[in-house]
Structure 1
């Protein structure tokens, strides 16, 4: 199977995709476990809303792939564990890829694998690790026809805001996205920039490779919905949201609202109506 065949499973005919990330337990952070302590239940809840993909780790992929039937989301397999998300950075930083990750992905019938391209202030060794990880995975992805999703992630200094805080500077996001493309990404998973109306520049620098936008930390329904509408208007191919779905009071309805924006071009007003139980579901 070629990567192109898997891409067609991942994206709609119009080239759109909503991937729900439930891989947060991979990173050894207590706060990341909120709402996903029971993974079987979390996965089943999201599957009912029928997004295009669900992003899971090697050890949790079974919760998706054990579900019977032909109609369920594709598996995006997270391949690397990192230790960079705490409020205080450890002395030694790493981003380690699972052994024989692509063979695992093929065995698990994944549509894609996801790997980080991390850019932390004054941490060139970590960036170097990520470049090596991507280079090795690319070779294996080509061999097995697997889709390579690269996640360029520019982070703020920990002393500024604590762990896992995104730097929305478009002048830092753009070159890292381009580096990911140059390294062979089939799909980009990137952060939004501070000025959403400028996001078309990130799309442009990706040079035709589809860009899925990360959701980041928890935000209000209005903020998430409005931001998603603007990102899709700027040319994003879709979204990869995790905590804003799984930590929502109604993950299924939030997924349906976001699917309407991504696949049907719903307005923010219509999406909020779906969230409030006033509109039809998009499943």
Structure 2
């Protein structure tokens, strides 16, 4: 078994599923609610014994004493911020080796199919995949369709298109949106898919229901950020999601038990 496969087995465990808590938003949004005091949030999240946490390499290093027992995914791109002229012009901010030296078990990059930068983003992914393969590190590709080609980011074709190309280039995990015909997208993507949470939902149970449906249709779990760290009870939300993903609880049961 290769080093990469050993690391993937650590993340997905015996049931092949994982909850990743995305806490890399600071590199794109700055100090938004829920992560203004990242250390405080992390201390709550780790109590839920989540499967993975995603942060930038610098934050992994800074908060190593809190997160050292969790599988750590380093976001290694981030030049496209919410205030930049083009958010899809998202270039590397670190190498795979730099991230590993900071403590990462895997790395992650963004890809925006349909954007004016699509071809450069696929090239970025291919460069990261090759470097990561040489040192046994898994790569997660976050696939989010964008205009001008895809006006609707939930377009099933757009998500299937982007997920398959990311897998063809060598991504080991795909993080993308849940949409209709999701089972068909899973079937056409030969690597695990975890669904992203996106903006905080209007009702706390909404994200629980989405994750429940996604797992039933073949998702390997979820990578959730704002719907955990901006919830009034981040620990409870993380535990609820863990119960849905690993224990098969219904969304209503998880909400009643943990929220």
Give the TM-score of the pair, scaled to structure 2. Answer: 0.92
Rate the CA distance shift 1:92–1:113 in 2: closer, same or farther, 3 A.
closer
Match of 1:181 in 2: 167
Match of 2:20 in 1: 19
Give the TM-score of the pair, scaled to structure 1. Answer: 0.84
Contact 1:39 1:63 in 2 (8 A): no
Secondary structure at 2:58 match in 1: coil
| 1:112 correspondence with 2:106 | yes
| 1:73 correspondence with 2:70 | yes
- In the alignment, the residues of structure 2 paired with residue 92 and residue 213 of structure 1 have an alpha-carbon distance, to the nearest angstrom, of 21
- List gaps (5 residues or longer) in structure 1: 161-165, 277-283
Contact 2:54 2:73 in 1 (8 A): yes
Q: What is the CA deviation profile of residues 133-172 of structure 1, one whole-angstrom value per residue up to 9, with x for unaligned ones? A: 1111111111110001111111356xx8xxxxx7111011
The Cα shift of 1:58 comes to 1.6
| 1:137 correspondence with 2:128 | yes
The Cα shift of 1:59 comes to 1.6
Q: How does 1:1-283 map to 2 (within 5 A)?
A: 2-27=3-28, 29-30=29-30, 33-67=32-66, 72-83=69-80, 85=82, 90=85, 94-99=89-94, 101-120=95-114, 123-124=115-116, 126-155=117-146, 167-193=153-179, 195=180, 198-207=181-190, 209-219=191-201, 220-276=203-259
Rate the CA distance shift 1:215–1:104 in 2: closer, same or farther, 3 A.
same
- In the alignment, the residues of structure 1 paired with residue 55 and residue 217 of structure 2 have an alpha-carbon distance, to the nearest angstrom, of 28
Secondary structure at 1:54 match in 2: strand
Query: How many residues in Structure 1 have an aligned counterpart in Structure 2?
Result: 255
Contact 1:138 1:148 in 2 (8 A): yes
Q: What is the CA deviation profile of residues 233-279 of structure 1, one whole-angstrom value per residue up to 9, with x for unaligned ones? A: 00100000000000000000000000000111111221111233xxx
The Cα shift of 1:67 comes to 2.9
- In the alignment, the residues of structure 2 paired with residue 68 and residue 225 of structure 1 have an alpha-carbon distance, to the nearest angstrom, of 24
Rate the CA distance shift 1:221–1:156 in 2: closer, same or farther, 3 A.
farther
- In the alignment, the residues of structure 2 paired with residue 188 and residue 67 of structure 1 have an alpha-carbon distance, to the nearest angstrom, of 26
- In the alignment, the residues of structure 1 paired with residue 100 and residue 183 of structure 2 have an alpha-carbon distance, to the nearest angstrom, of 33
Match of 1:281 in 2: none
Secondary structure at 1:110 match in 2: coil
